[in-house]
């Protein structure tokens, strides 16, 4: 039998491929750790649709969803007292918003409706989740509070205490009312006093856990550490917004008294 001569393996090529695969895996782990896996288009990846969701009508209309999302963003910027107030506060702080640069409608994981990317200083509105004007208004106001905190404070989103604080402020100013606290199970007619605080803590906890790979105990500890100071910081809105009230309009009308250009 003739002896065949085997060529030596190209260890350099194998090594390069392994390094690339390793780096790709490590990047995915890092993205998941900091919540970027929830926003695939943030890192030039294509949102992956599924046949099940296409058949259910939830996916397959990405271009239409994007167009409708951008329409809703435009309506909110021109009509919503809260969004206009936040944009004025950001402008007065030296961080004016260019809607073409700082707001992006994208397909996201269904567990989130929006987000703030501090690396790009950009708000993400999840076009496949926030599908009406009311939801888009909530996302814009919530994320603009994070943008305001990033603009005005030495905010480090990798510091869990900093993250907990800005999530507390966003929940406190834009999310929690007695009705939402009731829905979450944080309030009843027998325990109204701390219902709002409990609602804020619950919302902040969910937000921290959505974007950071930490335990619930670690997130709660951070929230408790910063809660008194951050809960009482009402800038730039100046009040906690109650549902079905005139609070949004009153906050908008009062903004110039606090130096905000609206």
What b/e string do you get for 130-164 counting C-beta neighbours within 10 Å, with b at 16 or more?
beebebbbbbbbbbbbbbbbbbeeebebeebebbb
CA nearest to 255, candidates 142, 92, 137: 92
143 has catalytic annotation: yes
DSSP-assigned beta bridge partners for residue 122:
117
Question: Are the C-beta atoms of residues 82 and 98 closer than 8 Å to each other?
Answer: no
Question: Are the C-beta atoms of residues 260 and 194 closer than 8 Å to each other?
Answer: no
CA pair distance 58, 63, nearest whole angstrom: 13
Question: Are the C-beta atoms of residues 251 and 234 closer than 8 Å to each other?
Answer: no
Question: Are the C-beta atoms of residues 139 and 130 closer than 8 Å to each other?
Answer: yes
Annotated active-site residue in 59, 106, 143, 167: 143
CA nearest to 39, candidates 149, 123, 99: 123
DSSP H helices, 105-258, are 133-152, 160-174, 178-184, 195-211, 216-231, 247-254
What residues act catalytically?
A: 143
């Amino acid at each position: 039998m003739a002896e065949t001569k085997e060529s030596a393996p190209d260890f350099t090529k194998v090594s390069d491929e392994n390094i690339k695969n390793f780096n790709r895996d490590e990047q995915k782990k890092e993205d998941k750790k900091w919540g970027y896996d929830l926003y695939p288009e943030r890192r030039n990846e294509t949102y992956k649709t599924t046949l099940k969701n296409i058949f259910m009508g939830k996916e397959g209309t990405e271009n239409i969803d994007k167009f409708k999302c951008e329409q809703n963003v435009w309506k909110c910027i021109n009509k919503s007292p809260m969004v206009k107030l936040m944009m004025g506060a950001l402008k007065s702080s030296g961080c004016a918003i260019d809607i073409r640069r700082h707001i992006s409608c994208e397909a996201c994981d269904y567990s989130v409706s929006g987000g703030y990317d501090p690396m790009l200083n950009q708000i993400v509105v999840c076009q496949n989740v926030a599908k009406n004007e009311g939801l888009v208004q909530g996302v814009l106001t919530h994320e603009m509070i994070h943008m305001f905190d990033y603009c005005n404070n030495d905010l480090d989103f990798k510091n869990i205490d900093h993250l907990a604080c800005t999530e507390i402020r966003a929940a406190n100013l834009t999310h929690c009312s007695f009705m939402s606290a009731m829905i979450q199970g944080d309030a009843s007619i027998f325990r109204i006093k701390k219902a709002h605080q409990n609602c804020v803590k619950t919302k902040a906890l969910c937000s921290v856990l959505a974007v950071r790979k930490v335990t619930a105990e670690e997130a709660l500890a951070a929230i408790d550490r910063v809660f008194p100071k951050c809960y009482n910081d009402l800038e730039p809105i100046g009040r906690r917004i109650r549902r079905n009230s005139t609070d949004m309009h009153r906050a908008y009308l009062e903004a110039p008294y606090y130096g905000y250009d609206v």
